[in-house]
Structure 1
Amino acid sequence: MSSSCSSSLQRHASHSPLRIGGLQPLTTLDYPDHLACVLFCQGCAWRCRYCHNPELIRRRGPSEWSWNKVLGFLQQRQGLLQAVVFSGGEATLQPALPAAMRRVHELGFKVGLHSAGIKPASFGRALAQCDWVGFDVKALEEETALITGVSGSGQANWRSLELLLDSGVAYECRTTVHWHLLDCQRLQRLGERLATLGVRHFAVQLARPQQMLDSQLGAAPTPAEAGQLWPYFEQLFERFELRAV
């Protein structure tokens, strides 16, 4: 492909509207201390077995919101909502995301992002537009592919984490735990590695068996030793939370 043709395709991609598979009109949980809405962006390159939004994995969804409809909704919520959170799927895979974030800023909202940093370069471009990031650390770098099913996903996930920590953007790191996939010993090592990198805000999200991508996982009882892990994390991090997904 010629360079001129490639440039033309990139320009076309950057002007394509954001693909949004769903919208949550009000939340107090997805952006700390703010009234927010959540835009669920369509498409994800990973196949996390506990994923609870499997309908967002495909590049195109059955019931997408048009960007113009989203803008209309946001214009009606000016002065009522404080922030807009771009979630997924994986929002940073869409070239239109940074421009959409800038438009949200123009409307007077803060911008939040939920991401696993699937492609560090794309994550970095979106990060420049963010006021806050909820970052999904899937597992230890060398074990991430066991969760995502994708080779090399650990390197991408942890490289994006480094970009986040270097950016100065406010953040929370979170790890979703299904006890069939991540035991207490691995989770402890993960927490210690994050603390060594300088992570100060960490949350463990316990996966629920409803609507997971891998229906064979089922429910997993919480190990007894987890009761000792949570107080340890409270000491390890400036802020630690335990929550359900």
Structure 2
Amino acid sequence: MAMIVNLGGIVPLSTVDWPGRVSAVIFLRGCPFRCPFCQNAELQSGWTPVDITELMDRLFPRRGAGQSILHEFSKSSRSLLIDSVVLSGGEPLAQREAALAIAREVKARGLDLGVETNGYHPETLEALVSEGCLSRVFLDIKAAPREDAYLRATGIRDALPRVLRSLDVIVENKVPFEIRITVFPGMPSEDELKEISDLLQHVTPRSLESVVLQQGIPPRGEFEPVSEEDLRRLAQSLKFNIRIRSLRRSVP
């Protein structure tokens, strides 16, 4: 039976999604969250089916002896090689079987797999870990680890226990990971950011490589984004070495 992927889009070459790596990024449709200022709201739903064989052919077109154009995309920059694939969304792990199938294809090609996830599907994370397909996780923390805060940030109830379980899966299996926190005016607040920092201290994540404060961009121009200066000030109050990131790219 053919494996169908509900595809949201592809970025064939990215140096942003996995810092220090050159990745192809696959966006999958579907997300259980309804965050009020979602950056990719168009991927929350919809149906654009693609057979996984077609998807892999689009990512890795055959050339002569099977060389992908992603590995050699111009004579002037042959040293710049694709070394990884990032699954993003939407929430890519909502499509469990598609995510696993893509992961196996990526592993078979000798590339590393990173996953950008909101943590709502810890069972899919566990499956990727058990198959040895997962090289890095980029975990979005939406709010302070309190049910009321997570309800306000995600629009759904009972998300927090699933997110915390995903964090446990990552830590227990020593998967390298990055925490990403998107900051909008007043959400999360400075006090909530400190609660998130305390959570990360509490779980003592040995494989935590970085924490990033991302500048939330209003999808419809509803407000002025938090300035990079204010993000730096917030970062100084936390217990980790924080990177600052501006969000400007949209889904293809």
Q: TM-score band, normalised by the shorter chain? A: 0.7 to 0.9
Determine the structure 2 residue equivalent to 1:110.
112
- Residues 92 and 126 of structure 1 are in contact (CA less than 8 Å); yes or no, is this contact kept in structure 2? no
| Greater percentage in helix | 1
Aligned-partner Cα distance in 2 for 1:48–1:177: 12
Q: Deviations over 1:189-241 (max 9, x none)?
A: 211221222244211111011x3xxx4853355598755432233xx22x421
Aligned-partner Cα distance in 2 for 1:66–1:193: 40
Aligned-partner Cα distance in 2 for 1:175–1:42: 21
The unaligned stretches of length 5 or more in structure 2 are 61-67, 73-80, 248-252
1:72 matched to 2:73? The reply is no
TM-score by length of 2: 0.80
Aligned-partner Cα distance in 1 for 2:233–2:53: 49
How do 1:55-134 residues align onto structure 2 when only pairs under 5 Å count? Answer: 55-61=42-48, 65-75=50-60, 76=68, 77-78=70-71, 80-94=81-95, 95-128=97-130, 129-134=133-138
SS of equivalent residue, structure 2 residue 90: coil
- Change beyond 3 A, Cα 1:93–1:26: same
- Change beyond 3 A, Cα 1:22–1:85: same
Aligned-partner Cα distance in 1 for 2:233–2:186: 19
Between 1:195-204 and 1:16-25, the stretch displaced more is: 195-204
Match 1:181 to one of 182, 187, 206? 187
Aligned-partner Cα distance in 2 for 1:229–1:121: 33
- Change beyond 3 A, Cα 1:113–1:227: closer
- Residues 44 and 59 of structure 1 are in contact (CA less than 8 Å); yes or no, is this contact kept in structure 2? no
Determine the structure 1 residue equivalent to 2:35.
48
Determine the structure 1 residue equivalent to 2:64.
none
How do 1:190-229 residues align onto structure 2 when only pairs under 5 Å count? Answer: 190-199=196-205, 200=208, 201-209=210-218, 211=219, 215=220, 217-222=222-227, 227-229=232-234
Q: Partner letter of residue 141 of structure 2?
A: V
- Residues 215 and 227 of structure 2 are in contact (CA less than 8 Å); yes or no, is this contact kept in structure 1? no
- Residues 111 and 132 of structure 1 are in contact (CA less than 8 Å); yes or no, is this contact kept in structure 2? yes
Q: Partner letter of residue 67 of structure 1?
A: I
SS of equivalent residue, structure 2 residue 104: helix
User: What is the aligned-residue identity percentage?
Assistant: 25
- Change beyond 3 A, Cα 1:217–1:197: farther
Aligned-partner Cα distance in 1 for 2:138–2:3: 25
Aligned-partner Cα distance in 1 for 2:189–2:117: 23
The Cα shift of 1:71 comes to 0.9
Aligned-partner Cα distance in 1 for 2:164–2:236: 25
Match 1:231 to one of 230, 233, 236? 236
- Residues 3 and 52 of structure 2 are in contact (CA less than 8 Å); yes or no, is this contact kept in structure 1? no
What's the Cα RMSD here? 2.3
| Number of residue equivalences | 223
- Residues 180 and 220 of structure 1 are in contact (CA less than 8 Å); yes or no, is this contact kept in structure 2? no
TM-score by length of 1: 0.82
- Residues 215 and 226 of structure 2 are in contact (CA less than 8 Å); yes or no, is this contact kept in structure 1? no
Determine the structure 2 residue equivalent to 1:19.
6
Aligned-partner Cα distance in 1 for 2:40–2:230: 29
Match 1:147 to one of 153, 171, 174? 153
- Residues 119 and 162 of structure 2 are in contact (CA less than 8 Å); yes or no, is this contact kept in structure 1? yes
Q: Deviations over 1:17-63 (max 9, x none)?
A: 222110011111212321111000111111111211111100524xx
